[in-house]
Amino acid sequence: MSDSISADQLRLLIERIERLEEEKQGIADDIKDVYGEAKSTGFDVKTIRTIVRLRKMEKHHRDEAEALLEMYKAALGLD
């Protein structure tokens, strides 16, 4: 009996994962469409992706990353 309960529970978990994977793919497709729309309106997608990534970061991490970038650029004479 415990084998069938475990098998049922496993099947339900796998089905949930499969549904979530489908939803995740749908969201990924939606995001791709939005980037395509941005590109078609003349925005630079690479820059938008950078902004999205920066907005996800906490301010102190963003400040640290920007300071390191400036330091590295100065060391390489890119300023």
Task: Determine which of 1-10, 17-26, 60-69 has the lowest per-residue pLDDT on average.
Answer: 1-10
Average pLDDT over residues 26-39: 98
Task: Report pTM.
Answer: 0.73
* Among candidate residues 42, 66, 43, the one with its CA nearest the CA of residue 54: 66
Asked whether the beta carbons of 45 and 35 are under 8 A apart, the reply is: yes
pLDDT at 4: 74
Residues in contact with 65: Cβ distance below 8 Å, sequence separation at least 6, in sequence order: 57
Asked whether the beta carbons of 69 and 57 are under 8 A apart, the reply is: no
Average pLDDT over residues 10-22: 97
